[in-house]
Chains A and B, each alone.
Chain A
Amino acid sequence: MIGRAALFVTCLADTLYPSVGIATVTVLERLGVSVSFPREQTCCGQMHFNSGYVDEARQLGQRFVDVFAGEPVVVTPSASCAAHVRHQYAELLGDDARGVPESVVELSQFVSGLGAVAIGARFRGTVTYHPTCHSLRVLRVGDSPLRLLREVEGLGLVELPDADECCGFGGTFAVKNAAVSSAMLADKLDAIESTGADVVCACDSSCLMHIGGGLRRRGSRVRAVHLAEILAGAS
């Protein structure tokens, strides 16, 4: 059993979705993990890196390493940030990465890695799960999140058609190629609404910001909720 973990909440969850961070703390503590929150943390630099701003990405990456160096385990509720740190830092920072990339673990993988599946969560409603691109094709979380969701008491899981299609977010892609991004989003929202689910769930606040923002704009009754919030039994 892992006794303690540092939380990398991500700049996005910190600033816009604090409930995701709070839920992550709740889940970890329920599993007996003592959580620390290094206050100096800001952003891993993923958006800058993916958008081509290498100098800024390197600076933010170096900062991330300085903040989290020495932490045996860093848990984050974002598949794309975990993927960025784990898969890009070595090349971006070289030896300066100081072993930090390997210590960063996405929440669903961390919880599954503990061997914990049934964690005493309760949720009333029907949920469909959107596997985000980075969780699916970079981190390869596989069915970890689905196995966790299946064990949540009261939760009805329904399959999402064309689940592995991108929602169209892609960071600055959503604004630089807004029309294409919106078309991809529209198809994703149609698929979500076709399931009749009350909630669409994912492992990444950025994709959920996109999907949730689109659902709200079209006046949908479906809510976008992070996996951590469901596992925390918060709603």
Chain B
Amino acid sequence: MVRACAPFIWRKFLPVPPSRAAARDAAPVVFPQAARAGLANAQLRANLNAATTTIREKRAQVVAEVGDWEELRDAAAAIKDSALHRLDTVLLELEATVTKARGIVHWARDAAEANRIVVDLVRATGADEVVKVKSLATDEIRLNEALEAGGIRPIETDLAELIVQLAGERASHLLVPAIHKNRTEIRDLLRVALDRPDLTDEPTELTAAARLHLRAAFLRARVAISGANFAVAETGTICVVESEGNGRMCTTLPETLITVMGIEKVVPEWRDLGVFLQLLPRSATGERMNPYTSLWAGVRAGDGPSAFHLVLLDNGRTRALADDVGRPALRCIRCSACVNVCPVYRRVGGHAYHTVYAGPIGAILQPQLSGESGQAGSLPFASSLCGACADVCPVKIDIPRILVRERARAVAAERQGLEGATLRRLGRILSDRRRYERAQRLTRVLQRPALRDGHLRWFPGPLGGWGESRDLPGVPAQTFREWWEARERGA
């Protein structure tokens, strides 16, 4: 029954219209402008706030249960650093162990090369569609667009990824791609996309509808594509962590399995998983353990896929590796705890970042991977440096530190117009006590016409944004140092 109606149904699973996706990326958008759109969307802010608050509270609860949480974080950072410091040999070890288990390893320098490898592998099977496990690496290289261009239909099987794909949108959260949508919006989307006008906004009903459709695709699929949460060099084991079971379907049912993995995902030893599998679910979804953890090494006769390909993706990672300040960004296990606590992300949503990796980690990963600061250099500035991200990071990435360094790179590359001129001038004033004191006295005179009840409400040039929501006191009749001097004279 399901099989019989499948072709009709799947015709509705249209690929993302390329023109819409391209148009979004054409204009050079800077974060402050993009953020205003997110801020103005009350529904989006309400959805985001509800969802991130729930995840944050769950996370805090299950993290507090773990007595040695800080030691686990230290261990995870140390394991990642040790793998990154000898990535050349660890990756060769992984290639050897995967090959020994009758998997085939491919090396891709960049997105184009990785896409070419994957498209060729799928074509060689004769399949014209693939089922996909949720994978940020494949989002990063825009594999779906490459597959479509090659006449292959990618079917996202993670529910949220499916929703985003059906809506022709981009993910707005690393882990919860459709976090910007509430269930009513999802109901409206599925009613049309799945031709199910009967659907209510009951989550169980929506999930059942998606499951019915996905089941057909799983049973039909000959090729699956996944990412990897971890790969163990010692054993050649790939690890995928998920909640819905769609990943397990993809990694076991089809004849051919292709895994695209960033080279920083490798860990040296099997026992390292013991650390990460405690940290990741708690940090990501606030669960003690995620429902499905799939582990496999190569292929095994009569059990699962008969062909396994591992595509090792560089795409800027070795450049990041060479940077001693930015390198810790490669420890990232994509848990998105930093995203959920980020006060900026929580108010503007992921689309404002215009990157695959949104939120604080995206603001440092994007420049690391691409070699240029995202959104015309505006992303590293999209943070109040409150440090909430660094506090929750399970692999202890000092995100604010890397953000500040990216800012320094942006300033070194470009003079930053009037803002740069103002800050440089201010630097000169502050580096000379007499000049500084003269500036205090001069401001006291110049501010007079603008003062209202001792305060300023409007500000010129790059300071204009302050006046959107804030007053500022003027320089008072006596600065502290003038008070001090008067007191000294009196004494």
Task: Show the binding face of A for B, using Cβ within 8 Å.
Answer: 9, 11, 13-18, 20-22, 25, 37, 39-43, 45, 47-56, 59-60, 63, 133-134, 136-138, 164-166, 168-186, 209-210, 213-214, 216-217
Contact = CB atoms under 8 A, between A and B. Distances in A.
B386 A181 contact: no
Which of A134, A171, A182, A186: most chain B Cβ within 10 A? Answer: A182
Which of A37, A164, A185: most chain B Cβ within 10 A? Answer: A37
Contacts of A42: 430-433, 436
B433 A39 contact: yes
B35 A180 contact: yes
B191 interface: no
Contacts of A177: 31-32, 35, 344, 381-382, 465
Given A50-B385, A216-B471, 4 more contacts: A137-B386, A176-B419, A178-B469, A213-B472
Contact of A11 (B409, B436, B468, B473): B436
Contacts of A21: 480, 483-484
B479 interface: yes
Given A14-B480, A21-B483, A37-B484, A179 B468 contact: yes
B463 A175 contact: yes
Contacts of A48: 423, 426-427
B431 A60 contact: yes
A215 B447 CA distance: 21
Which of B426, B427, B474, B478: most chain A Cβ within 10 A? Answer: B427
B35 A59 contact: no
A53 B427 contact: yes
B481 A14 contact: yes
B69 to A, nearest CB: 16
B343 interface: yes
Contacts of A176: 32, 381, 419, 465
Given A37-B484, A175-B465, A217-B471, A51 B436 contact: no
B469 A53 contact: no
B415 to A, nearest CB: 11
B383 interface: yes
B464 interface: yes
A16 B466 contact: no
Contacts of A178: 32, 464-466, 468-469
Q: Which 9 A-B pairs have the closest CB atoms?
A: A178-B465, A170-B384, A52-B407, A56-B427, A213-B470, A166-B386, A21-B480, A52-B411, A137-B387
Nearest to A168: B384
What DSSP secondary structure best describes chain A's contact surface? Answer: helix
B36 interface: yes
Interface string B377-397: 000111111111011000000
Nearest to B456: A213
Contact of B386 (A47, A60, A170): A170
Given A14-B479, A51-B423, A56-B424, A63 B384 contact: no
B325 to A, nearest CB: 10
Contact of A16 (B347, B382, B386, B473): B473
A214 B473 CA distance: 12
Contact of A183 (B39, B409, B471, B483): B39
B452 to A, nearest CB: 11
Interface in B354-402: 380-388, 390-391
Contact of B404 (A49, A182, A186, A209): A49
Contacts of B455: 216
A51 B470 contact: no
A26 to B, nearest CB: 11
Nearest to B436: A42
A184 B468 CA distance: 13
Nearest to A52: B407
A184 B343 contact: yes
Nearest to A173: B384
Given A15-B440, A177-B344, A9 B381 contact: no
Contacts of A209: 472-473
B270 to A, nearest CB: 35
B468 A182 contact: yes
Contacts of A15: 440, 443, 475, 479-480
Given A177-B32, A180-B35, A183-B39, A43 B384 contact: no
A233 B388 CA distance: 33
A56 B423 contact: yes
Given A40-B433, A175-B462, A179-B36, A214 B408 contact: no
A176 B32 CA distance: 7
Given A133-B385, A133-B386, A176-B419, A13 B480 contact: yes
12 contacts: A14-B481, A21-B483, A42-B432, A45-B430, A56-B427, A60-B427, A134-B387, A172-B381, A176-B381, A179-B468, A180-B39, A183-B39
Contacts of B31: 177
Contact of A180 (B344, B457, B470, B481): B344
A133 B388 CA distance: 8
Nearest to B472: A213
Given A39-B433, A177-B32, A138 B411 contact: no
Which of B39, B424, B462, B479: most chain A Cβ within 10 A? Answer: B479
Contacts of A11: 430, 436
Given A22-B480, A54-B408, A186 B427 contact: no
A214 B384 contact: no
Nearest to A37: B484
B151 interface: no
